[in-house]
A and B are shown apart, each in its own frame.
Chain A
Amino acid sequence: MSDTPAIELRDVIKRFGETPAVDRVSLQIGDGEFFSLLGPSGCGKTTTLRMIAGFEYPSSGEMLIHGRSMATIPPHRRPVNTVFQSYALFPHMSVEQNVAFGLQMQRLPKQEIAPRVSEALELVRLGHLAQRRPNQLSGGQQQRVALARALVNQPEVLLLDEPLGALDQKLRKEMQLELKSLQHRVGITFIFVTHDQEEALTMSDRIAVMNQGKVLQVGSPTEIYERPTCRFVADFIGETNFIDGEVVESDGGYSSIVTPDGLRLRGLAPRTLPAGSAATLSIRPEKLRLTTLEQAGPEQVAALPVSVELVSYIGSDTRITVRLNEQRTLDVWEQNRRSTLDRNAYWQPGEQALLFCPPDNALVLAE
């Protein structure tokens, strides 16, 4: 059982009318994995999840749960449970009755249902609210009821559709930690839909980044952030500087590009790019280095003379916009590692400086 994936999608396409909402998606999600689907609004995350839950059927392609094809299995006979974005708690039932619903549908004896319900409510720390109606609960509490209602059935896979979307920032952070530790304890596969990249990065074992129905990249949070394989992923996850140009040289996993304004920059190339092809160099603002004219830069990295244009102090970081020439500016973030009130310790607008773009921190991506 452990080597068959918990969920497998093979070339799944879902069309509503003409354009596909999900376009040739293939995924393998392992047992006990915390897997996130991340992408902008309308990219097909919910549709993918609904196909796994059984509310939609693929227009073509295959969907398997633990190796079993789901082509003819209706939602109520699938070994998955969903935490809906809207929670979808039954308003005419108490918290306890909501949580008991799934077990009653399995026709378990009453003596078995009661302890499992209270156990599930303890798990989400809502034991004291068992008799309340959903409309007497706060958003966070409702969310936890939805979670308990799904978990109590001990599904093989738990599907979560932006379950934290309706919560305020603070509660959201709390629930993220809670969900993550809960997943560790119960050891169930979680498929978590979100359009919040930070949430996906902090919680997931692996992330699938989607756009326009396609899965663009699947990888660990570090891989997704540090080694995006295309421009969209680099842009969607975190902040980055893009520098468009033409490949002039490729060797040993690196490529060099030259821009129309005459810059020559080197970076890691995930794929070998032929000389003459169009490419984009992507470098994250925290990976650029800025020094004063007197200071030395990293060895063997060409220094680019720049002038500091904008400086914003945001506490942990200072965010600086530097100008290379008439047409081009880049963003540089520096951590404020030293505590000081001395204004001269920070960059000043108008100051001349040297910028270094280390090739190991930059990526050259095909257009």
Chain B
Amino acid sequence: MSQTANRVTTPAIERGRLTWSGVSLSLHAVLIYLFLYLPILVLIIFSFTRDAFGVRWTGFTLDWYVRLFNDERLMGASVNTLLVASVSTLVSTILGTLMAMAMERYQFRGREGVEALIYLPVVVPEIVMAVALLAFSALVFDLINALTGQVLRRNLTTVTIAHIAFNMSFVVVVVRTSLRHFDRRLEEAAADLGADSWQTFWRVTFPLILPGIIGGALMAFTLSLDDFVISLFLSGPGTSLLPVEVYSRVRRAITPEINAISTLMLLLSITLVLLSQLLQRRR
């Protein structure tokens, strides 16, 4: 009996000793997580409230979700956003991966300049990027008009191209990291065993840097999904994207419908992140 008692008291004493630093540390962590996640939690909860202004809890309902799916404007904006994100992710991942390969593998004149330039969109304020892209698209449209007489307007294609432009830098950053960790001797081994450079890439290099490419693609997709400034500037009239649409509605009033669509976007992001982690853990 007394032995059991001893065994129990020892950790208790230790726990007691740790009290000050331990408690303050835990408190700190709890506060940070509250700070990060409380607003999101509130958002999710208020997407189920009956209250029409979505700021008080007056009972549970799924009405806002139903209404959301019947809201053509919102649904249209969602489809647009997913479309732009998918296409720009695909294109920027392919281009960014090729770019990263070139920068990692080849010595060419002006390489350092190219490297600095490719990272610029990561650090340049988004508003500057947006204005630049807007001005550039106007210039190109004028040029096309002068040359062919065709009148072009900004539409989903222009936003997609703009998204590709800024996504590519992020893909390059992520893919380069995984290329740098890639053991090039494996490529020599493949060549030694009779693989030409095409086979070497698809059988050895690609599978091994795939986690990096997926990481880059995921980052691009997420960035594209929630991009506001560039989307606002470059989508033409009548082709609104979800973040822009949400913003224009919030200016009038926050409704539980907005909470609902935000919750769904959150769900999508979380799913994607979990998926990518799962994929990477499998290797």
A residues within 8 Å of B by Cβ?
53-55, 74-77, 80-82, 84, 86, 88-92, 101-102, 105-106, 149-150, 153
Contacts and interface: CB of A to CB of B under 8 A. Distances in A.
What secondary structure prevails in chain B residues at the interface with A? helix
A106 B194 contact: yes
A105 B199 CA distance: 8
Contacts of B72: none
Nearest to A53: B192
B185 A149 contact: no
Contact of A105 (B188, B195, B207): B195
13 contacts: A76-B194, A80-B192, A81-B193, A86-B185, A88-B186, A90-B204, A91-B208, A92-B207, A92-B208, A102-B193, A105-B194, A105-B195, A153-B194
Contacts of A82: 188-189, 192
Contact of A84 (B189, B194, B208, B283): B189
B203 interface: yes
Interface size range of chain B in the complex: 10 to 19
Contacts of B189: 82, 84, 88-90
B193 A149 contact: yes
Given A91-B208, A101-B203, A75 B191 contact: yes
B104 interface: no
B193 A153 contact: yes
Given A88-B185, A88-B189, A92-B283, A102 B194 contact: yes
Given A101-B203, A105-B199, A90 B192 contact: no
Given A101-B203, A105-B199, A90 B186 contact: yes
A269 B186 CA distance: 49
Contact of B183 (A53, A88, A149, A153): A88
Nearest to A97: B203
Interface in B192-245: 192-196, 199, 203-204, 207-208
B185 A76 contact: no
B195 to A, nearest CB: 5
A156 to B, nearest CB: 13
Contact of A101 (B183, B188, B193, B207): B193
Contacts of A149: 193
Contact of A76 (B192, B207, B208): B192
Given A82-B192, A101-B195, 18 more contacts: A53-B192, A75-B188, A76-B191, A76-B194, A77-B194, A82-B188, A84-B188, A86-B185, A88-B183, A88-B186, A88-B188, A88-B189, A90-B186, A90-B189, A90-B190, A90-B204, A102-B193, A105-B194
Contacts of B191: 54-55, 74-76
A93 to B, nearest CB: 9
A94 B153 CA distance: 54
Contacts of B196: 76
